């Protein structure tokens, strides 16, 4: 059951592309990507886990091959769409792997439907203020003053050079980073209108930070089985953000990898092994 199938789902007249692998009766694992990538970030991880789990990895609205939303897109809207998507594809109870933007998306789902979440794996997916580095300063400026000048200042985050930098920064051996990932990201970022959607989401990221206390209350109240696998050289989400999960979930497992933001690009085998070991004990 290691074959990957490439499908689309219609969610409230919105087309979502997704990857699916594994036997339908196996434990379910929802994979949620981040910025600026898409479900292709899991292309190496999925085959390593498909014999054990039924996995689905959607392209979030505005990313990859999924439809672009209209202007003013928010993380609440993305989470609502993915919530409905899980119902469309029959994911009624599942573990969730969250990365970057996938974290505030997945954590919203967990807060709304705690009974559906069997476990959480966070790969550089933050929920604590101390996890935010100074790299967020220009984006914070846009939160605080959503002027056109502050918006335009963020366009450099959408450049091919910045995408490459995100993939290679903090990676001891950049030759281990395949060009496939960042090349596809840059291709999708060049879609007409994609830049405005991404700038809207930069501005709305403040809604995620505002929800951090809500996410933390969920962690304390429900204490889901939790694994953090973290590229320790991430320029955006600091190791302190990974350690902070243990404050609300003392039994959380935290593992650091000597790599950058896109840890799965260089350490897919290590992450797969950690997930197998972790989920074998999760209920």
> Annotated catalytic sites, by residue?
261
Tokens found for residue 92: 């009624």
- CA dist 149 → 103, 119, 161, 192 (Å): 28, 42, 21, 21
Close Cβ partners of 144 (under 8 Å, ≥ 6 residues apart): none
CB 164 within 8 A of CB 182: yes
CA 143, distance to chain mean position in Å, is: 21
Q: Which DSSP helix (H) or strand (E) runs through 248?
A: helix 239-248
Give CA–CA dist 136/270, Å, rounded. Answer: 28
């Amino acid at each position: 059951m290691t074959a990957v199938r490439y499908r689309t789902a219609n969610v409230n007249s919105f087309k979502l592309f997704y990857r699916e692998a594994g036997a339908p009766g196996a434990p379910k694992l929802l994979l949620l990507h981040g910025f600026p990538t898409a479900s292709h970030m899991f292309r190496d991880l999925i085959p390593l886990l498909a014999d054990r789990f039924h996995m689905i990895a959607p392209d979030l609205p505005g990313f990859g091959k999924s439809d672009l939303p209209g202007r003013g897109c928010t993380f609440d809207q993305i989470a609502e769409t993915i919530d409905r998507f899980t119902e469309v594809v029959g994911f009624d109870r599942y573990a969730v792997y969250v990365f970057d933007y996938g974290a505030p998306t997945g954590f919203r789902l967990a807060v709304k439907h705690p009974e559906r979440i069997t476990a959480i794996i966070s790969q550089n997916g933050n929920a604590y203020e101390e996890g935010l580095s100074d790299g967020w300063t220009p984006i914070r400026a846009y939160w605080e003053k959503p002027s056109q000048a502050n918006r335009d200042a963020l366009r450099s985050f959408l450049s091919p050079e910045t995408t490459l930098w995100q993939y290679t920064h903090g990676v001891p051996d950049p030759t281990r980073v395949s060009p496939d990932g960042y090349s596809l990201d840059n291709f999708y970022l060049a879609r007409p209108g994609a830049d405005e959607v991404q700038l809207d989401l930069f501005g709305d990221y403040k809604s995620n930070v505002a929800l951090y206390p809500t996410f933390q209350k969920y962690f304390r109240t429900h204490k889901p089985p939790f694994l953090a696998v973290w590229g320790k050289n991430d320029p955006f989400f600091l190791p302190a953000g990974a350690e902070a999960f243990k404050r609300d979930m003392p039994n959380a497992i935290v593992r650091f990898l000597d790599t950058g933001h896109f840890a799965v690009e260089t350490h897919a085998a290590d992450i797969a092994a950690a997930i197998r070991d972790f989920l074998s004990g999760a209920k």
